[in-house]
Amino acid sequence: DNKLFAFHQAKSEEQLATEKAWLDAERLWLVHRMGFSACRRLPEDSSAGGGGDSDTSKIRIRLEATGEVLQVDDDDVEKANPPQFDRAEDLAHLRYLNESSVLHTLRQRYGSNLIHTYAGGSMVVVNPMAPLAIHSEKVVHMFRGCKSEDMPPHIYSLAQSAYHGMLSSRRDHSIVLLGRSGSGKTTNFKHILHYLVLAAGTVNKVVTVEKLNAISTVLEAFGNSRTVLNTNATRFTQILSLDFDQSGQI
């Protein structure tokens, strides 16, 4: 047990040393017209001479991709997060919360097919543009009955949290999906409904996944069209209300 404790203690100290080295290196993001680039802040150049006329709003940085040294405005850089925040499940947990770090985290997760990310009480879903094997009845049962803190980011965890909140508070709950055309609002709307039907159950099968799919087919036949951004754009607003009995069934 003592050896195990010493191992964990040494690992913790190593992590602290890594984090300190990262912070000492002053890793930053340079924000520019094309997005943002990783860079490192350089110490002030004392050989510039004079010293009195130096512009305190300017800093020297080295781009990590090319090694190029630039002098930029202090407002053009944002702080980068230490490596332990890579692929963070909740953007609210980032040590430095800025636009570049948020986009970097979302891009990291998207590259690992992790399309869902918590943002405090909300969730960001990035359209994978291809089917992923993360929506099924088997996955539904993995989230069923779980509490928010026990669930990884997923559209099912959002549905489960709303369902659990409704049961515990005995008050109505709503889920609102926002985003541009083609971002996946309609698809995730279906995932939420399918989850609630399978996880909560329905009285006398008044609502089933098959019935929901049939409703969607009819609505989309009349209300969808092709646009520049989306080949199957939903051109109407969907508002659906589910009624639950005292036992939590639809």
Residue 180 annotated as lining a ligand binding site: yes
Tell how far CA 74 is from the center of its chain.
28
Residue 216 annotated as lining a ligand binding site: no
Residue 183 annotated as lining a ligand binding site: yes
CA distances to 154, 162, 186 from 240, rounded to whole Å, are 21, 15, 12
Residue 111 annotated as lining a ligand binding site: no
Q: Which distant-in-sequence residues (6+ apart) come within 8 Å of 64 by Cβ?
A: 37, 38, 39, 40
Look at the block and give the residue holding tokens 């997005």.
35
Closest CA to 81 of 63, 106, 105, 117: 105
For residue 14, the one-letter residue type is E
Residue 202 annotated as lining a ligand binding site: no
Residue 223 annotated as lining a ligand binding site: no
Closest CA to 26 of 39, 13, 16: 39
CA distances to 194, 224, 241 from 181, rounded to whole Å, are 22, 11, 23
Binding residues are: 179-186
The binding site for ATP consists of: 179-186
